[in-house]
Chain A
Amino acid sequence: MKKLLSLLMILLLLVGCSGGNPSGNDAPAEGATEETTGKTVTLQAPTPLISMDTAVATDGTSFSAMTMCMSGLVSLDADGNPVADAAESWTVSDDGLTYTFKLRDGAVWSNGDPVTANDFVYAWDRMTDPETAADYGFLWDICGIESYTAVDDLTFEVKLAAPSGFFLGLTAFASMFPMNAKFAEEKGDQYALSVNDMVYNGPYVMTSWTSGYSFEFEQNPTYWDAENYAKTYAQKVIFREITDTQTALMEYEQGNLDTVSLSGEQVDANSSAPGFVNRLAGYMYYLAINQGNNHHNRTGAADLSNVNIRKAMSYAIDREEIARVLNDGSVAAGGIVPIALAANPETGADFRDDQGYIVSYDEAKAKEFYAKGVEELGHDVTFELLYGSDEGDSIIKAAEQIQSYLEAVGFTVNLNPKPKKERLDLAGTADDHDFDVMLTRWGPDYADPQTYMDLFLEASVDYNDGGYFSEAYEALVHDAEFGAGVSDASVRWQDFLDAEKQIVVEDAGVVPVFQAGGAMIINPNISGIEFHSAAVDSYRHIVVK
């Protein structure tokens, strides 16, 4: 009998474990109302939604989600041009310094409160308050915003220190969205933590958000353009967080997803699938080379202050080949400024086209420069290449390719993969850079070359990790931003072109490698997903056939 009892106990232990969690089995049923009206789209979110708070979010997925359900003063059309949204119209003073936005009369938040100029003032105050420590608080300085005021409930006025070509477009960016002051105060710390802690003034409202699983939107009936939306665009947009590319592709092929991102391995087999696209992202990956005086006495870094050695590195890398091997939509870098970031203010030509490809692969030249450098240094060059071990497959592949190319020229390269948090730790602070060479990246904050040019200034202590310094470069960038460039856009443009040549070609202060891309398949039955390489992707205008 006792034997039977003990067996029973074990069974109970096992069953108890399974019986003890009914909550798991019939888990959250909320938001499970399945509607298959044909106007629902389900998109893959390859990275999770981190925050819906404009002052806290820093990633593309979060920005896109906020752009779904919030409207800034303007929003971007498919080509990235600003069009009226929360502001019905705006005027710019003749000197280009004062913007007066006229808000829509009768526009309301989803709880019925009117959208007023004060909501903008409140949100902007919060973003610029140092206490908030918002990542994107610097945008106000970049635009040179001197003051912003609510002239009356429907008039919002912004004064700039100098004319800015990108300010207007930036007001479509999530960080500059308004906030319902009354509601936000009421919620306090809880603001934007769940669908019940938010109000919306955009075309959609968020109906469900399960961390790690999905977030969903439905059309907002109180949006000023709601009638048009109901007629034209998807009724419901569901984002499903799926990080594994292989199961995501299976799910897409079974018809349960409308978009899917592909890894480099999957591209060849799917490049002829209907709806396959290679989209270009803004991220520029480059080698930061430690050449400052603050490099922990690292032997590798000391050699890297030799300009011939750095030029050898730049010529040694076959960027086209690396992009081909990555095969994920990435393209070879032509300079430090990515493709499709900014257009010539006069001709409208892309920066990259104006400048041309100023870095190239030339093994013979690389060997020549290397020999010259070695002669000057008196010994061969050995250094460590730091890169992120958890920042995606492409980074690991690229690092291994770079190692192979550099070793072919004569370098000895030791790879040093580290998780991102540690990599950024080693990248360091103003006077502490514990690496030789680092494969790192920069995503543009606004559609202007300045977002890259500012990085490598001496004063940019937080971002100029390699400690690059050149008087010529400083002078050119200064002239563009504070000198002749202020009043003459074409001088400014030319200054930036020259500055890029200076840092990339003359000094080889940084070695651009590739511009990230994203290969994906979009269900041919849907259209209207808008990718902006220098701004946030928009899913507001999805049309279901």
Chain B
Amino acid sequence: MSELKNHEFHDDDFEFAHAEGEKLLDKNYKSTSYWKDVWGNFSKNKGALIGAVIICIIILFALIGPSLNEHTYKSINHGHEYLVPRIPGLEKIGIANGYYKGADQYAAKGASDVYYWFGTDTQGRDIFTRVWSGTQVSLVIAFAAVLVDIFIGMVYGLVSGFIGGRVDIYMQRFAEILNGIPTLVVVTLLGLVLKPGISSIIFSLVLTGWIGMERIARAQVLKVKEQEYILASTTLGASKFRLIFSEVLPNIFGQVIITSMFSIPSAIFLEAYLSFLGLGVPAPLASLGSLVSDGYKSMTTFPHILIIPVVVLGVLMLCFNLFADGLRDAFDPKMLNK
């Protein structure tokens, strides 16, 4: 080290390392917009694309599924209770052939010429139709849950965490008070003011559904706000608004998306509880949540009533998550350069 200190540099100490005759050319990259980058990243992600496609298929089924056969979500087929799935074609290879515990349930109930693709429930209603019309309801709830998460939870957390100080303390106390009261007590009271239906479900989400997200967003902000690029941006005179939404937000968006995906099932099950209070979608209309909680009652006797909505919900969630993962990677500025 000491040698180096006393060393003096001269112009001829250095020379170009490239081979003689090589041409030095600047490469010109096409300038791409942020959104193009995002799309480019997203479309490269196979899992995310598969997820998106399956979500589209499920949405399609939710729209047309209920009208694919002659049953409606509330038509009761007397005498056809508890039938297991039976699908033409598949029955020949031994799956979904209407047999349960070694006996042909359809023959036993005098319904040999009928096909219930997903079977029937305890009252002889067609599960296929009910599951898809339930999916309709649950998709709306899922969508609402994500919107509430992002537009209320995320924004609240961002503002609270970034501004900090007194504002943070007050905003956090307010959230604490709201969340310190058990959700069930809050939604039970909604029964007083609301009519049953989708709007009351969304309203209860607005009241209680965003606090988890708010905490995550705030914690994320706390993590990134002390980092150098924020300091740099502040020094350059960026406004608070710009800092929050264009510097901090992209860096925490990944977490935010993942969190909002995870809040979907709890919203769907909150709906099932609301139905119990007479606040959910009015019976006999179903939702995935209420189908699951109804199916539970026959889980040990006729498991198909439970399994079908659980599988639909599981696949839907899996695809939402694949999709969200893709989005996360696509939005993450750190991923853009990879």
Contacts and interface: CB of A to CB of B under 8 A. Distances in A.
Q: Do chains A and B touch in the complex (CB under 8 A)?
A: yes
Interface of A: 245-246, 249-250, 263-266, 268-269, 321, 325, 389-390, 393, 396-397, 399-401, 403-404, 414-419, 422
Contact of A265 (B75, B122, B124): B122
B75 A404 contact: yes
A266 B296 CA distance: 12
23 contacts: A245-B297, A246-B297, A246-B299, A246-B300, A250-B300, A268-B301, A321-B78, A325-B124, A389-B278, A397-B123, A400-B74, A403-B284, A404-B74, A404-B75, A414-B282, A415-B282, A415-B284, A416-B278, A417-B275, A417-B278, A419-B191, A419-B276, A419-B278
A278 B89 CA distance: 41
Of listed A268, A389, A414, residue having the most chain B CB within 10 A: A389
B284 A422 contact: no
Contacts of A403: 74, 284
Interface of B: 74-76, 78, 81-82, 122-124, 191, 196, 275-278, 282-284, 297-302
A264 B294 CA distance: 13
B298 A401 contact: no
Given A265-B122, A321-B78, A325-B123, A400 B298 contact: no
Nearest to A400: B284
B284 A265 contact: no
Given A321-B78, A400-B76, A400-B284, A263 B297 contact: yes
Nearest to A423: B278
10 closest A-B pairs by CB: A265-B298, A418-B278, A404-B76, A417-B278, A415-B283, A400-B284, A389-B278, A246-B300, A265-B301, A269-B301
A266 B81 contact: no
Contacts of A401: 76, 123
B187 to A, nearest CB: 12
Of listed B123, B191, B283, residue having the most chain A CB within 10 A: B283
Nearest to A269: B301
A266 B297 CA distance: 9
A264 B277 CA distance: 22
A403 B122 CA distance: 16
Contacts of A415: 282-284
B277 A389 contact: yes
A269 B82 CA distance: 12
Contacts of B76: 400-401, 404
B277 A399 contact: no
B283 A265 contact: no
Contacts of B301: 265-266, 268-269
A94 B42 CA distance: 96
Nearest to A393: B297
A271 to B, nearest CB: 12
A396 B276 CA distance: 10
Contacts of A399: 283
A504 B75 CA distance: 28
A419 B279 CA distance: 10
A249 B300 contact: yes
A217 to B, nearest CB: 31
Contact of B297 (A265, A269, A321): A265
A389 B275 CA distance: 8
Contacts of A418: 191, 278
B123 A400 contact: yes
A336 B182 CA distance: 43
Nearest to A388: B278
B302 A265 contact: yes
Given A249-B300, A389-B278, A419-B277, A264 B122 contact: yes
Nearest to A386: B278
A203 to B, nearest CB: 37
A279 to B, nearest CB: 21
Contacts of B275: 389, 417
A265 B81 CA distance: 10
B149 to A, nearest CB: 27
Nearest to A318: B78
A72 B71 CA distance: 57
A123 to B, nearest CB: 38
B106 to A, nearest CB: 16
Contacts of A265: 82, 122, 297-298, 301-302
B278 A422 contact: yes
A425 B248 CA distance: 52
B276 A389 contact: yes
Contacts of A396: 283
A407 to B, nearest CB: 8
A415 B283 CA distance: 6
A245 B296 CA distance: 11
Contacts of B302: 265
Contacts of A321: 78
Contacts of B284: 400, 403, 415
Nearest to A415: B283
A329 B196 CA distance: 32
Contacts of B78: 321, 325
Given A325-B122, A400-B123, A403-B74, 9 more contacts: A325-B78, A389-B277, A397-B123, A404-B74, A404-B76, A414-B282, A415-B283, A419-B276, A419-B278
A404 B76 CA distance: 7
A415 B76 CA distance: 15
B218 to A, nearest CB: 20
B305 to A, nearest CB: 9
Contacts of B283: 396, 399-400, 415, 417
A249 B284 CA distance: 29
A265 to B, nearest CB: 4
Nearest to B296: A246
Of listed B122, B276, B278, B299, residue having the most chain A CB within 10 A: B278
A321 B297 CA distance: 21
A489 to B, nearest CB: 43
Contacts of B278: 389, 416-419, 422
